Amino acid sequence: MKIAVIGTGYVGLVTGTCFAESGHQVTCVDKDPRKIEILESGRLPIYEPGLDELVKRNARDGRLAFTTRVADAVPGAEVIFIAVGTPPGEDGSADLSYVLAAAEEIGRALTGYAVVVNKSTVPVGSADRVTAVIASVTSEPFDVASNPEFLKEGAAVEDFMKPDRVVVGTPSERARAVMGELYGPFVRVEQPILFMDTRSAELTKYAANAMLATRISFMNDVAALCERMGADVDAVRRGMGSDKRIGFPFLFPGVGYGGSCFPKDVRALLSMGRAAGLDFDLLRAVERVNEKQKQVLLQKAQRHFGSLAGKRFAVWGLAFKPRTDDMREAPSISLIEGLTGAGATVAAHDPVASETARQVLGPHVEITPDAWAAAKGADALFLVTEWSEFRMPDLDRLKATLRQPVLFDGRNIWDAGRMRAAGFTYYGIGRGKS
């Protein structure tokens, strides 16, 4: 098939590249000429493991092209994905201005029947609005489908190529047939394509992310209770997760969730609920717990040191999760702002997100080239993002590098007993009183 993808952000670039990898002819569009220049030079504007190799190979083999003009990509395309940003407004609702602007350009460039697919995370009813915009500028036949993405940053290529399910909202049998053919190669080992109406597909994305965020916040509150009761959250988590009705995913306590999806989607679902006259009490609590959890390491440090003024602290891990350079709503930001606001200095390291962090955190935070440089002379080390390279540090070297052997483990990746036996003062999340 000939496919156009409008938007070369995280979702758009992964979508276009993976379809090209499966043999389709794909043109990706972005209004930012700098992004297109970067892509055409064989580089990527984002970090995602394995994606750079796929982009280079498919561009070299002529299956993947880039342009700044919608009019160059849409004519003759059988499927057109809208994958532009939907930033949250002040009330948490998603801003559809970029989606609707893309829809109008698509409508003006149509030359025949196509399925226009909302890949962006959009509120319920967006397919209807996109349909109205396109219909207002073209007499060509088309359908608008909803196909929300469920990609995990750091594993997006694998998630796309081997999905656990594909959700498609379609208004017609013709569109259903096109989307079924398009995704057929990706579900050959019996993962389902779940066809439904467009409004249900749109809501599925928000509901899924809100459920995962709820599990995280619930477990963080359980961890807080464990500390007050002298229990071990790791043991509690194992006991809970062994129940097949519950399972283990997203039951790990930590310093809160961040990124581009969970915070935005929880707020958007709250906004949709308010607009529908529903007071979503559960999700308001989920959001409140998450914001509180981002302060938990700072509070532990304040209890340990008293005044933080004049102290030097090291932070390992800045991205909101491993295997990405995404700093959007990362818990590290809240921690570092709290430390520096209390008069401390901070040196930080992340294996991938250093350049992004410099832009987000500003010049008053030292971003070091390696983890040991960050730890040198620090009064304590904060582990915020659980990169694999942080899991088994040389403890003798770490103790000699730090000014004081104090560890704040925001992801419970270190063995508390081992750390304490090695002479460290160790604080985890929900591991007894700390």
One domain, residues 284 and 304: no
Q: CA–CA separation, 254 vs 414, rounded Å?
A: 13
Same domain, 268 and 391: no
Range of the domain at 376: 294-427
- End of a domain among 152, 167, 196? 196
Give the CATH number for residue 192.
Answer: 3.40.50.720
Same domain, 217 and 192: no
Does residue 6 sit in the same domain as residue 141?
A: yes
Q: What is the pLDDT along the chain (434 residues), one digit of tens a residue?
A: 999 999 999 999 999 999 999 999 999 999 999 999 999 998 999 899 999 999 999 999 999 999 999 999 999 999 999 999 988 887 888 889 999 999 999 999 999 999 999 998 899 999 999 999 999 999 999 999 999 999 999 999 999 999 999 999 999 999 999 999 999 999 877 789 999 999 999 999 999 999 999 999 999 999 999 999 999 999 999 999 999 999 999 999 999 999 989 999 999 999 999 999 999 999 999 999 999 999 999 999 999 999 999 999 999 999 999 999 999 999 999 999 999 999 999 999 999 999 999 999 999 999 999 999 999 999 999 999 999 999 999 999 999 999 999 999 999 999 999 999 999 999 999 997 65
CATH of the domain at 224: 1.10.1040.10
Judgement on whether residues 101 and 119 belong to the same structural domain of the protein: yes
**In-domain check, residue 384:** yes
Please state whether beta strands 193-196 and 312-316 pair in parallel, antiparallel, or not at all (unpaired). unpaired
Tokens found for residue 312: 């030097």
State pTM to two decimals.
Answer: 0.91
**Domain annotation covers residue 382:** yes
Question: Whole-angstrom Cα distance, residue 204 to residue 124?
Answer: 10
Catalytic residue numbers read 261
Q: Which of 196, 225, 260 is the last residue of a domain?
A: 196
Same domain, 192 and 240: no
Question: Are 262 and 284 in a shared domain?
Answer: yes
Same domain, 91 and 172: yes
Contact residues for 336 (Cβ-Cβ < 8 A; gap 6+)? 315, 346, 348, 361, 365
Residues 110 and 241 in one domain: no
| Distance in angstroms (rounded) separating the CA atoms of residues 9 and 14 | 8
For residues 420 and 402, is the Cβ–Cβ distance under 8 A? no
Closest CA to 255 of 292, 208, 211: 292
- Asked if the structure places residue 433 within a domain, the reply is no
* One domain for residues 153 and 219: no
Burial class (CB in 10 A: 0-12, 13-18, 19+), 61: exposed
Together in a domain, 143 and 227 = no
Is 417 domain-assigned?
yes
In a domain, 268, yes or no: yes
Instruction: Say how many domains are in the chain.
Output: 3
